[in-house]
Amino acid sequence: MELIDTHCHLTFDELADDVEGVIERSKAAGVTGWITVGTDTQQNQRVLQLAERHENMYAAVGIHPHDAKDVTTETISELKKLAKNKKVVAIGETGLDFHYDFSPPSDQRRVFAAQLKIAAELNLPVIVHCREAFDETIDTLERFGSGVKKVVFHCFGGSVKQAKIVLDYGFYISFTGVVTFKNADPVRQAAKIVPLDKLMLETDCPYMSPEPMRKQKINEPALLIHTARCLAELKGLDLADFAKAVTATTTTFFALPDR
Ligand code: NI
């Protein structure tokens, strides 16, 4: 069985010091591919360096909505330059987050739109972060996403109704350990309606450790197996069959080399 963690932050401080150990434990658990995701200019440089050193590891570069307020035209052109590296398989994470409001909504929209433009120009998929901003995120994708061919809503925590809207647009949905949480019935209901050719898995580590490992403060790709197991069960599938299907979806979405 081979799973791909489509959204991990291996360069964040919690994981960076022991990244080789993290990768070894991941492989031992059957999680043999990684997309390590940048959130600002410095992290984008780091994810690229790390991906360049590891087989089956790829990078996504983007500016997180939390950091949107400091983004200038230079930040955007620097991002575009980095995105041309052959290890970059997506723009992200980018999007809107009105839960924390670390950056004003107008800045978040501006920076999200600029990244959609880069994705369209470079023909890269987009990893979307959306928190308490569902309608605005869909609206921004409609207005500024022309030419963007593939979009995934990462760390999906929405309802069945929202999942239907996302799927109607042809977008993909990625689930973290949140789907395993005891109080996450609405997310599990949503997961039930996502077809396997639109569904991907991620840890979003170092955050979001899945049950039954939720007490492990620092999540890591090895724990993706618990999220996979939970979703396979929801779908009434063997873990191996489920893994094969979602890995195929991931390979298509990010245009990864066949393995
Ligand atoms: Ni993330």
Full domain range(s) for residue 36: 3-253
pLDDT in tens, 47-91: 999 999 999 999 999 999 999 999 999 999 999 999 999 999 999
**Three-class secondary structure assignment of the chain:** CCEEEEEECCCCHHHHCCHHHHHHHHHHCCEEEEEEECCCHHHHHHHHHHHHHCCCEEEEECCCHHHHHHCCHHHHHHHHHHHCCCCEEEEEEEEEECCCCCCCHHHHHHHHHHHHHHHHHHCCCEEEEEECCHHHHHHHHHHHCCCCCCEEECCCCCCHHHHHHHHHCCCEEEECHHHHCCCCHHHHHHHHCCCHHHEEECCCCCCCCCCCCCCCCCCCHHHHHHHHHHHHHHHCCCHHHHHHHHHHHHHHHCCCCCC
120 found inside a domain: yes
Measured in Å, residue 237 CA sits from the centre of ligand 1 at: 27
The answer to whether 108 touches 96, Cβ cutoff 8 Å, is yes
Q: What pLDDT sits at residue 259?
A: 67
Rounded-to-integer distance, Cα 10 and Cα 47, Å: 8
* Percent of the chain whose predicted confidence (pLDDT) is above 90: 98
pLDDT in tens, 158-195: 999 999 999 999 999 999 999 999 999 999 999 999 99
- pLDDT > 80? residue 37: yes
Measured in Å, residue 204 CA sits from the centre of ligand 1 at: 5
- pLDDT > 80? residue 244: yes
Rounded-to-integer distance, Cα 30 and Cα 85, Å: 27
Measured in Å, residue 220 CA sits from the centre of ligand 1 at: 12
202 found inside a domain: yes
Measured in Å, residue 12 CA sits from the centre of ligand 1 at: 10
Measured in Å, residue 36 CA sits from the centre of ligand 1 at: 9
Measured in Å, residue 242 CA sits from the centre of ligand 1 at: 23
Measured in Å, residue 258 CA sits from the centre of ligand 1 at: 25
Measured in Å, residue 7 CA sits from the centre of ligand 1 at: 6
Measured in Å, residue 17 CA sits from the centre of ligand 1 at: 18
pLDDT in tens, 183-192: 999 999 999 9
258 found inside a domain: no
For residues 198-208, average pLDDT: 98
- Name the burial class of residue 225, with classes exposed (0-12), middle (13-18) and buried (19+) by CB atoms within 10 angstroms of its CB: buried
- If one counts the domains in the chain, the total is 1
259 found inside a domain: no
Q: What pLDDT sits at residue 9?
A: 98
Q: Band of the pLDDT at 212, cuts 50, 70, 90?
A: very high
The tokens for 100 are 């924390």
pTM above 0.85, yes or no: yes
- Count of residues in the chain: 259
pLDDT in tens, 101-149: 899 999 999 999 999 999 999 999 999 999 999 999 999 999 999 999 9
Measured in Å, residue 154 CA sits from the centre of ligand 1 at: 8
Average pLDDT, the chain: 97
Q: Which residues hold their Cβ within 5 A of ligand 1, which is an ion?
A: 204
Q: Residue 162's Cα: distance from chain center in Å?
A: 18
Q: CATH number of the domain at 201, please.
A: 3.20.20.140
